[in-house]
Each structure stands twice: as structure tokens, then as C-alpha cells.
């Protein structure tokens, strides 16, 4: 069923937000690392499974190479990283230090599961909880909507009804929701609204494009996306920081190459 992947994504964000509010900052680092590595291995298996579906690996190869050159010329990866960095700095600035006397406690993160209000915010606003709500909602929305998995997963859901990639993204978003909610509060849960709109539109547009895309075009486009998913897996496993964002133009090039050379 088209759109099922987005529905699962929404459910994990809501569940992660609830869990974050309950457990606070008590999740051990080693547990987060193990879970992320597990998701990374599953992502790698999904990527390999998609990549080997190609009937002629030349199409994904050329699409990835030329798409990567276009992506670097447009600085897609750098722009995505800059956006994420601005979000991180803004969140850290607005949340503020938790306890200046606590050694080894990063600024902006809860200690013993409790968040100490930023005194400067208390002086400048009568409702500091509102500031935290908005910050959590905006930061989570951008992080959940910006990224290759959101694009690749929604397109695959729309074209083939395959929710595999969005299930992986849902697992990641659920984990991030736990951490964000523990730090920024329940506003994180409202990020489901832009997720529904963004991924829903991508899924619908991909489904409409099915009328003009041949089976071969979809096949080679899927294989090209599988190679990008493998790059995401390498990043999750902390093996290589593949610049996947800059490869995204390859998703458009692969079907176009098939249309020109293989019809």
C-alpha cells in the first residue's frame, strides 16, 4: 500500500518522543552505538539487494559518476551539512548549559534525566517551555525531512510499494526522537506534520511518474539508489563518510540514460 512507509515513520517518531520523555538522558552511549550499527548492517543489506537488480551496471555507474559531479558543482552535500550544522548550533545555543558545575556534562544535555532551564531564557520570556517546544519541533522536522533516505524511500514506496528504506529511516528517526525529546521536550512529536507532507508528496509524485517510466527505467533507477543506500550504510557504520547528498542527481540521470540508450 502506497504511503505505508510514511505511516510507519510517523508512528516511530511519536513512539520515540514518548520514550524520550519517559527515560530522559539515561540511555547509555554503548546501547545507542549498538543499535545504530545494527541499523547500518540492515541498510547495507538493503542497498546491496537493490544494486544487484541492475540489468546493466553501466547505467548506475554513469549516473552515479555524472550525478556526483553535478552534485559537487551544486554543493548539495555541503549545503545539507551546513543546514544540519546551523540546526545543531542553534539548538545548543537556545537550550544552554545544564549545570556549569557539572564536569563532563555537555552543554544543552540533561543531567540525571532532568533539564535545568536556561536562566537567560527565563529572564527574557515568561514561557521558556514554549521556546523549547518550538526549538524541538523545528530542529526535528528539518533533520527528519532532509536526507537521502527520505527521498529514496519515498520514491521507492511510490513506484513499487516497497517500504524497506522508509522502515530503516523510521528506526533511525525513532532513535533520534528519543534523544531529542529527552533534551528538548514534547515539541519533537510535532515534527510528524512536515514529515507527512514532505514524504507524502514525494510518494504521490513518484506514483504519478509511473505512467511515463518504463520498467527498465525504474529498475536502473532503483539500482542506482541502492548504491547510494550502501553509501548511507557506510556512514552509519562509521567506515567512510560517503558524500551521498551529492550523488542524488544520479536518481534522475539513470532513468534518463535508459530512455536515451536502451529503449
pLDDT band for position 82 (cuts 50, 70, 90): confident
Q: What is the pLDDT of residue 91?
A: 56
| Mean pLDDT, the chain, whole residue set | 78
> What are the boundaries of each domain within the chain?
4-261
> Does the global pTM surpass 0.85?
no
Per the model's pLDDT, the better-predicted residue between 86 and 161 turns out to be 161
Asked if residues 54 and 60 have their Cβ atoms less than 8 Å apart, the reply is yes
- pLDDT of 126 over the 50 cut: no
Q: What is the pLDDT of residue 133?
A: 65
User: How many angstroms separate the CA atoms of 23 and 28, rounded?
Assistant: 11
Per the model's pLDDT, the better-predicted residue between 215 and 11 turns out to be 11
User: How many angstroms separate the CA atoms of 63 and 257, rounded?
Assistant: 8
- pLDDT (mean) for 114-118: 43
Q: What is the pLDDT of residue 63?
A: 96
Counting Cα atoms < 13 Å in the Cβ hemisphere of 62 gives 12
Q: What is the pLDDT of residue 140?
A: 77
- pLDDT (mean) for 95-106: 44
Asked if residues 174 and 15 have their Cβ atoms less than 8 Å apart, the reply is yes
pLDDT band for position 112 (cuts 50, 70, 90): very low
- pLDDT of 167 over the 50 cut: yes
pLDDT cut 90: percent of the chain above it: 22
Q: What is the pLDDT of residue 118?
A: 47
Per the model's pLDDT, the better-predicted residue between 227 and 140 turns out to be 227
- Coil, helix or strand for 114? strand
Most confidently predicted of 37-51, 64-78, 143-157? 64-78
Amino acid at each position: 500500500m502506497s504511503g505505508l512507509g510514511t505511516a510507519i515513520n510517523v508512528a516511530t517518531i511519536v513512539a520515540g518522543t514518548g520514550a524520550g520523555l519517559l527515560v530522559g538522558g539515561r540511555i547509555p552511549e554503548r546501547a545507542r552505538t549498538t543499535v545504530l550499527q545494527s541499523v547500518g548492517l540492515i541498510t547495507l543489506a538493503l542497498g546491496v539487494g537493490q544494486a544487484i537488480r541492475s540489468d546493466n551496471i553501466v547505467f548506475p555507474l554513469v549516473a552515479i559518476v555524472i550525478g556526483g559531479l553535478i552534485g559537487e558543482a551544486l554543493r548539495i552535500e555541503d549545503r545539507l551539512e551546513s543546514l544540519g550544522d546551523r540546526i545543531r548550533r542553534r539548538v545548543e545555543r537556545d537550550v544552554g548549559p545544564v549545570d556549569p558545575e557539572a564536569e563532563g556534562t555537555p552543554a544543552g544535555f540533561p543531567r540525571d534525566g532532568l533539564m535545568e532551564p536556561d536562566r537567560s531564557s527565563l529572564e527574557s520570556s515568561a514561557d521558556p517551555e514554549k521556546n523549547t517546544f518550538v526549538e524541538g519541533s523545528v530542529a526535528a522536522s528539518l533533520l527528519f525531512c532532509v536526507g537521502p533516505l527520505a527521498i529514496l524511500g519515498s520514491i521507492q514506496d511510490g513506484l513499487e510499494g516497497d517500504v524497506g528504506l522508509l522502515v530503516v529511516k523510521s528506526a533511525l528517526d525513532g532513535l533520534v526522537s528519543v534523544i531529542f525529546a529527552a533534551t528538548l521536550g514534547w515539541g519533537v512529536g510535532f515534527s510528524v506534520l512536515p514529515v507527512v507532507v514532505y514524504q507524502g508528496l514525494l510518494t504521490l509524485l513518484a506514483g504519478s511518474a509511473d505512467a511515463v517510466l518504463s520498467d527498465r527505467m525504474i529498475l536502473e533507477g532503483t539500482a542506482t539508489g541502492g548504491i547510494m543506500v550502501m553509501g548511507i550504510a557506510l556512514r552509519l557504520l562509521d567506515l567512510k563518510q560517503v558524500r551521498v547528498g551529492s550523488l542524488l542527481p544520479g536518481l534522475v540521470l539513470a532513468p534518463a540514460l535508459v530512455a536515451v540508450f536502451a529503449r
